Structure 1
Amino acid sequence: MDPDHLTAVEEFAELRRCLDVGLARIDGQLALLAQRHGQIDRDLTDLAARVAALEHAKWPVPTVAALTSVGALAVAVWQALGR
């Protein structure tokens, strides 16, 4: 066989090995990204549920202000009547 032909075959074999290794590495990285994406989706869903629970449980500011005003009015009336 021609030495140039053997060299070309060896170079093609080396290129194929490099390509296989590169594709395997890319497949691994894609699998890792898919796993991270799934985890981020779960975390985001959990966070959205926590925020919704916090929003549902909080007292609205106008309600707190109204209750404080009523309390202050009651104390003022009590003090006025007590004297």
Structure 2
Amino acid sequence: MSNEIALTGIKPSGTPHIGNYLGMIKPALDLAKEFQALYFIADYHALTTVKDPDNLKRLTYDVAATWLALGLDPEKVILYRP
């Protein structure tokens, strides 16, 4: 692993789907193989499209659970909500 840092985030504006996986999640998870990886859930950015706070909370948890289910290793990377 490099001393370089990779930082990327995702906005929880809907239920994660295959397009999210192929276009963003898998490439982001692959970064952890070469860099120190930091991932964030940009829930405040989602307030522009998700108006219901309970729905936003659910979507935020869905994103975190999806990343963990798809291979994010919390022992090697950092996943946080700013």
Say whether the fold is shared (TM-score over 0.5): no
Select the structure that is richer in helix. 1
Select the structure that is richer in strand. 2
* Structure possessing the higher relative contact order (Cα contacts under 8 Å, 6 or more residues apart): 2
Q: Which has the higher Rg, Structure 1 or Structure 2?
A: 1
Pairwise TM-score range, normalised by the shorter structure: under 0.3
